[in-house]
Amino acid sequence: MVFMMAVEQEWEEIDFAIRAFQNMNMRVRYSSIPVVVAPFGLSLGGGCEMTLHADKVQAHAELYTGMVEFGVGLIPGGGGSKEFALRLSDSLSEGDIEINALRERFLTIGQAKVSTSAAEAFDLGILRPGKDSITLNRSRLLTDAKNAVLEMNATGYTMPEKRKDIRVMGKSGLGIIQVGANTMYSGHYISEHDQLISQKLGYILCGGDLSAPTLVSEQYLLDLEREAFLSLCGEKKTLERIQSILTSGKPLRN
């Protein structure tokens, strides 16, 4: 659908579709009732982004999840890039080395990492220790998820407040991302288009071209995310990558 709309240059339609998906995931996050997501098997791209926004994830042990949009020349546009910026902010304590944490979050998306199990999804920062759980028996998954949501409701669930306190690094982090992407390109490890996508992703994770670390809202990051997604849809090499996946099922490195 995105490919056809991009070929026809129907930018308003793409913007509407991405905005609708972002709004849906934000409804999952800011619902008056608790929301538990129970992913299993392949849960890639948009499925992973929905998982990121649930109050709790009850995952089957055999879970292959990750944000793989980079492989088709895009960035996660349904709130996934925003969510990693938010989780980066929440994970940092005073005195932590911010660059290392930023690099880890960036590479998880930039290398399209996919977990080989639910346990590995914790290592990738997709599942959260202390909040999300694993079910070993596939036939128990929905029962466990239902019990989890009923327990959350019984203990007095309150809808979370919308976040406006996400700390982003601005130019200091963006400079590190750009230097890394330029170095990888100069060393012929990535293509020129990979370099461009990396810069777009780094722009979101760092909150844009801000002169100093700043507190921003989720909506601010969602707007950056949608803008980056739209701009990449207009790139010829992105369309070539999408077409390759659709016609041959194989990723194209161009």
The CATH number of residue 143's host domain is 3.90.226.10
CB atoms within 10 A of CB 60: 22
Does any domain span residue 253? no
The pLDDT value given to residue 141: 98
Does any domain span residue 14? yes
> Mean pLDDT per 10-residue run, the chain (254 residues)?
92 95 96 96 96 97 96 95 96 80 94 96 96 97 97 94 94 92 93 95 95 95 97 95 92 89
The pLDDT value given to residue 92: 86
Does any domain span residue 189? yes
The pLDDT value given to residue 98: 85
Does any domain span residue 119? yes
Show the domain range for 148. 2-248
Closest CA to 112 of 87, 76, 84, 86: 76
Q: What domain count does the chain have?
A: 1
Q: What is the H or E stretch that residue 30 is in? A: none
The pLDDT value given to residue 93: 79
Is 0.75 topped by the overall pTM? yes
Q: Residues 28, 53: contact at Cβ < 8 Å?
A: yes
**Whole-Å CA distances, 250 to 45, 71, 246:** 16, 10, 8
The pLDDT value given to residue 94: 73
Does any domain span residue 254? no
